[in-house]
Structure 1
Amino acid sequence: MTTPIDPTATPAWTELTALAADLKPDLRGWFADDPGRVERLSFELADLHVDLSKNLVDDEIVGALVRLAEQTGVAERFAAMLRGEHINTTEDRPVLHTALRRPPGSEPPLVVDGQQVDRDVQQVLDAMSAFADRVRSGEWTGVTGKPVKTVVNIGIGGSDLGPAMISAALEPFGGEIEARFVSNIDPFDLAHKTKGLDPETTLFIVASKTFTTLETLTNARLARDWLWAGLEKAGAIGPTGSGTGSKEDAVAHHFVAVSTALDKVEAFGIDPANAFGFWDWVGGRYSVCSAIGLSLVLKFGPKNFRELLAGFHTVDEHMASTPLASNVPVLMGLLNVWYTNFLGAQSHAVLPYAQQLSRFAAYLQQLTMESNGKRVRWDGSPVTTETGEIFWGEPGTNGQHAFYQLLHQGTRLIPADFIAFANPAYALEDDGRDVHGLFIANFLAQTKALAFGKTAEEVEAEGTTGALVAARTFPGNRPTTSIFAPALTPRVLGELIALYEHITFTQGVIWGINSFDQWGVELGKQLALQIAPAVEGDTAAYDSQDASTRALLDYYKSHRA
């Protein structure tokens, strides 16, 4: 285990501390005095155009940030990750989600700990594609011979957020198969997601690496009960020997698994031949390119899924081969460090001007906060500075009528990423006016208003007087990054997700933390298993709880109908 470099002990950190102390943000003046600012701070990353010019930096600050990345070994650690070194130190594992999107025939072949990684990845992808072709063509049917119309993915965390987000984002590329996603153990979730479905045309995917995840297996059993009840009501299955199909036949036709625990899959009733595996070097929040993406292959087809992977890989290549001074994920990660550690920002807004990305902020919450919400470094020593950011956001223009007031005139510094696409999924006109053009005008106007604000003199020139002048003044100097792409396609979405993966990686390396474990989610799950008997009436379990928990249990029991 290598000892992480203490970022606060680097010359770059000292330099950045001094620069932050002297900083007097003036985006209006910087733009007026520097005609080349936009060009120098704009970058092309595959299909993404990234404009960093409205951030609170100048060339000196950017140079010092790049030196911080150099002095903390960002490029070296990324190369170590690609080679398969065990950079997930607390679990002694390699981190190889980038291997999931390497093109077939990549040279040299990737071999890690004796595993032929490329071969194994391609075998699973080929199996997923072959299965999807059978389902989409109607060759695979339910127990009554009807083709599949709806796929219901049962997972949680990374087994749900990635597929659910991408399913919504790429909706225009879908075909005849609908995809729904169940994750919450709240019974409403399963009841709501199966509402209106025909059991005869529904296929469930149970996504759990170990096939032991409490929420996922509970929902899987409930889904199995729903299937059996619906098929029995339709007369499609009955007791053994009744002349109709059996419950076992129903599960075999209507359930597949994404898991490597084949014995548990088989015990559930799923044919192990219909289980698609992945590996312990794939973290849940990085797993959508693995068999966890099976629902996406079924909905969008193998070709579109391969396009998604190609977008990821393009950004992987950029991250691996581009000098730090023009490496977009590194620069954006460094900006986040600048705001978090030197300017006191605590949260980060992600604001896609695309309704299809309605789940993108939720996806990034797991990616960023589960990765970098750590208080110890990868060698177990305490962190030496603040880590992590609170990620949040909503699609525009919805957010403009909700929380943008805080962004524009609040007292907090909140960096924001704005994302937009030149071509809409559906082009519509309103009385001859291009609606998407109006939408993009809002995207452009918001970053302009945040950057440059509105002075008291400009407010008074419009005829406003008295105390209202201050209320209508906008301070500006609110930092934003603008990301533009031609259209939201599978390839572009892959690029966008990989961009944020590597932003997260960059921050983790600088802070010296292991971005690939998640021990913080364990304690609550363990305690839930201990409390469950108390909920069910076990006196000893009840007596062992603290006073607050006992009081809340009393309330629950007294109000449960």
Structure 2
Amino acid sequence: MTGASLTRTTAWNALAQHYQDIQGQHMRDWFATDANRFERFHLQAAGLNLDYSKNRITAETMKLLQQLARARDLPGQIDSMFSGEAINRSEKRPVLHTALRNFGNREVLVDGVDVMPEVRHTMQRMEEFCWKIRRNQWRGFNNQPFTDVVSIGIGGSFLGPKLASSSLKPYWDSGLNIHYLANIDGTHITEILKRLNPATTLFIVQSKSFGTQETLKNALACREWFLNNGGTEADLPKHFTAVSSNVAKALEFGIAEENIFPMWDWVGGRYSLWSAIGLPLALAIGIDNFRDMLRGAYDMDEHFRSAPIEQNMPITMALLGLWYVNFFGVNSHAILPYDHYLRSLPAHLQQLDMESNGKSVTIDGYQVDYHTGPVIWGGVGTNGQHAFHQLLHQGTHFSPCDFIMPMCSHNPIDNFHAMLVSNCLSQSQALLQGKSEEEAVAELMAAGMSKAEAIVTAPQKVIPGNRPSNTLYFPKSKPHTVGALIALYEHKVAAQGFLWGVNSFDQWGVELGKQLGSKVLSALEGEDIPQHFDGSTNGLVRAFHDMQNLL
């Protein structure tokens, strides 16, 4: 099912008419007349709870959105993904990150071969690797146990593991410090390495090709630092491991073959947390907790592939997002975790969503005549309230929000967590209710202002409300919960891609940047000032050369 005729479907036209009917209505009135709205628009799956009652929807809205999902054969497209069809058509690959957390007995076939034995074998190798490091059976070149692990990767090899590591910090029990090195910035690598002892540091190079520019450059710099600070070529296998499909390149680097873990073409980088890319996390929290995270993702997988559309949490979130992007003209979506441990979630979801659905051509090559993926942004907890929530409440653009809230804290102090929850709930309440001019006048007069002054001042305090949000809540951020949460968003994004008819699993815009980057780098490192780029790039390259000469 493609996107070429999406806007000409009966289901789409029915939604367009319905939008005209309800766009002027206020959610405040819907809550006033429906005592069961919370229960009506509420779902549970894999330990997560979704309150989506604060959305600009009625029962009829959801019925029409669900009809669109059926018209687009969304259940069939989901089945195609799980069955191993090559739904990433531009790269002729299946999309099977779900196989990495498949706790069922079903086969997962790629070109007629069941990949599950290899997946299970890799997990067994990960378990053995973690056991040796965590129990000091594998030591550095001077026989000291490791104290630090540096994961060298970028994109999905960085954002997913970093998110999971920070989300599950209460479960770090190995005494190891985990560091993530991604940016090709001398400051980043300097700030990490200057705190480390090469004799007690383990490096994990994470690159499918073992040729990603940023990753390889950082890995070579770490190798040089190691060799210049007491390590030898013979010691490299003790201190460097890799997750890569390019075994030859990893061996050439100095990594022992038994310490090279596989990556597969049927796992995209932004979905690779569940593979050996998750090794740093497994080292920190232990393989049992790592498996529990996989189990949470698996439970969400099973929900996504089997729950009816009406009770399907990822599909519901996908449909709500489509409703705002395509009918309200919304172009952004805010992720607001009220949990310090989940502070990296917005950054991970930025890549997951924007790299997946930042497309303007359908999977069969047609230019879309509708909007696709929104800008994903956000921030953590009450910090955001004192930074960007002002725009959410009174700005000229409205951005749907996902509030994400554990109801219990790993670190209970006084009434801190109750205050945190109260902030979360009151922000979504304020977005819903707003404040009318009459309410603002009455409030100002109650504070002692004259009626004349209040009437002049009140417009500044008017808050429109009627701004939509979801609230995702759960008891506590545990491995199972974090796995389910990340998988929820993976499937939401995939479902939206299926609905829009785009390929959510390639990223050719990213590839173009890589291609051009090598040419620009040559110009920056060469002596001749280029004239073959566009005028702006030529000028910036000249500025780079000029400023080097000033130092």
**TM-score by shorter chain over 0.5:** yes
Contact 2:97 2:271 in 1 (8 A): yes
Amino acid at match of 1:260: S
Amino acid at match of 2:504: S
**Distance between the aligned counterparts of 1:38 and 1:554, measured in 2?**
60
Tell me which moved more, 192-201 or 69-78.
192-201
Give the corresponding residue for 1:123: 121
State the 1:357 CA deviation.
Answer: 1.3
State the 1:511 CA deviation.
Answer: 0.6
**Distance between the aligned counterparts of 2:3 and 2:395, measured in 1?**
37
Amino acid at match of 1:448: Q
**Distance between the aligned counterparts of 1:118 and 1:524, measured in 2?**
35
Give the corresponding residue for 1:553: 541
State the 1:538 CA deviation.
Answer: 4.1
State the 1:165 CA deviation.
Answer: 1.1
Give the corresponding residue for 1:244: none
**Is 1:82 the equivalent of 2:85?**
no
Tell me which moved more, 524-533 or 438-447.
524-533
**Distance between the aligned counterparts of 2:456 and 2:422, measured in 1?**
30
**Is 1:287 the equivalent of 2:287?**
no
**Distance between the aligned counterparts of 1:516 and 1:271, measured in 2?**
32
**Is 1:382 the equivalent of 2:363?**
no
Tell me which moved more, 527-536 or 496-505.
527-536
Amino acid at match of 2:155: G
Give the corresponding residue for 2:530: 542
State the 1:413 CA deviation.
Answer: 1.8
Amino acid at match of 2:469: T
**Distance between the aligned counterparts of 1:55 and 1:218, measured in 2?**
46
SS at match of 2:530: helix
State the 1:134 CA deviation.
Answer: 0.3
State the 1:486 CA deviation.
Answer: 0.2
SS at match of 1:387: coil
Contact 1:6 1:384 in 2 (8 A): no
Give the corresponding residue for 1:427: 412
Give the corresponding residue for 1:365: 350
Amino acid at match of 2:374: E
Give the corresponding residue for 1:199: 198
**Distance between the aligned counterparts of 2:456 and 2:496, measured in 1?**
43
The one-character-per-residue Cα deviations of 1:99-142 (angstroms, maximum 9, x if unpaired) are: 11001xx3232222133211111111110111011000000001
Amino acid at match of 2:164: I
SS at match of 1:257: strand
Give the corresponding residue for 2:497: 508
Q: What is the root-mean-square deviation of aligned Cα atoms in Å?
A: 1.2
**Distance between the aligned counterparts of 2:531 and 2:26, measured in 1?**
61
Counterparts of 1:144-183 in structure 2 under 5 Å? 144-175=142-173, 176-183=175-182
Contact 1:156 1:184 in 2 (8 A): yes
Contact 1:165 1:360 in 2 (8 A): yes
**Is 1:67 the equivalent of 2:67?**
yes
**Is 1:187 the equivalent of 2:172?**
no
**Distance between the aligned counterparts of 2:187 and 2:32, measured in 1?**
55
**Distance between the aligned counterparts of 1:3 and 1:338, measured in 2?**
18
Could you tell me which runs of 5 or more consecutive residues in structure 2 were left unpaired when the two chains were aligned.
446-453
Amino acid at match of 1:476: G
Q: Taking structure 1 as reference, are residues 392 and 440 closer, same or farther at Cα in structure 2, changes over 3 Å only?
A: same
Please report the TM-score for the alignment, with normalisation by the length of structure 2.
Answer: 0.96
Contact 2:4 2:366 in 1 (8 A): no
Counterparts of 1:47-446 in structure 2 under 5 Å? 47-103=47-103, 106-175=104-173, 176-231=175-230, 237=231, 247-429=232-414, 434-446=415-427
The one-character-per-residue Cα deviations of 1:393-448 (angstroms, maximum 9, x if unpaired) are: 0001000000000000111121000000111121112xxxx111111110110011
**Distance between the aligned counterparts of 2:257 and 2:288, measured in 1?**
25
Give the corresponding residue for 1:242: none
Contact 2:441 2:455 in 1 (8 A): no
Contact 1:344 1:413 in 2 (8 A): no
Please report the TM-score for the alignment, with normalisation by the length of structure 1.
Answer: 0.94
**Distance between the aligned counterparts of 1:365 and 1:414, measured in 2?**
15
Give the corresponding residue for 2:15: 16
**Distance between the aligned counterparts of 1:36 and 1:120, measured in 2?**
49
Contact 2:247 2:260 in 1 (8 A): yes
The one-character-per-residue Cα deviations of 1:438-494 (angstroms, maximum 9, x if unpaired) are: 111101100111001122222222234122211112111010000110000111001
Give the corresponding residue for 2:448: none
Contact 1:153 1:295 in 2 (8 A): yes
**Distance between the aligned counterparts of 2:92 and 2:25, measured in 1?**
44
**Distance between the aligned counterparts of 1:120 and 1:269, measured in 2?**
25
**Distance between the aligned counterparts of 2:536 and 2:509, measured in 1?**
22
Aligned positions, number? 539
Q: Taking structure 1 as reference, are residues 485 and 63 closer, same or farther at Cα in structure 2, changes over 3 Å only?
A: same
**Distance between the aligned counterparts of 2:542 and 2:4, measured in 1?**
50
Contact 1:531 1:542 in 2 (8 A): no
